């Protein structure tokens, strides 16, 4: 015979639950840490230099600051 679970059986004490804001911050911190470990320092510097170059080109070409995400047209023109 199967035992039917009730909502009281499945209830978790409120003190052990993580608030959505805390969970979001914990997830963001974990992602940031993972990305920091995944990229070598030289790769990060190279990406930063490339993005500065692209931002300079965008400013010269369109007269406005580069904002992400960019449109397909901007990517094609670059």
Which structural domain range is residue 49 located in? 20-77
The C-alpha angle with vertex 55 and arms to 52 and 46, in degrees rounded to 5, equals: 25
For the segment 14-52, what is each residue's pLDDT rounded down to a tens digit? Answer: 566 777 777 788 888 888 888 888 778 888 899 899 999
pLDDT at 65 over 70: yes
Q: Is residue 60 part of a domain?
A: yes
Alpha-carbon distance of 78 to 73, in angstroms, equals 9
- The percent of residues in the chain predicted with pLDDT above 90, rounded, is 41
* 15 found inside a domain: no
H helices present in the chain, as ranges: 7-10, 20-38, 41-62, 72-77
Q: Is position 50 within any domain?
A: yes
**Tokens of residue 72, six digits:** 């397909």
pLDDT at position 5: 58
Q: Is 0.75 surpassed by the pTM of this model?
A: no
Number of domains in the chain: 1
Task: Establish if 8 belongs to a structural domain.
Answer: no
The Cα 44–Cα 50 span in angstroms is 10
Residue 12 counted as domain residue: no
């Amino acid at each position: 015979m199967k035992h039917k679970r009730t909502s009281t059986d499945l209830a978790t004490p409120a003190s052990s639950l993580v608030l959505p804001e805390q969970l979001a911050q914990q997830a963001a911190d974990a992602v940031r840490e993972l990305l920091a470990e995944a990229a070598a320092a030289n790769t990060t510097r190279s990406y930063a230099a490339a993005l500065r170059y692209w931002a300079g080109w965008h400013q010269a070409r369109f007269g406005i600051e580069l904002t992400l995400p960019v449109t397909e047209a901007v990517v094609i023109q670059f």
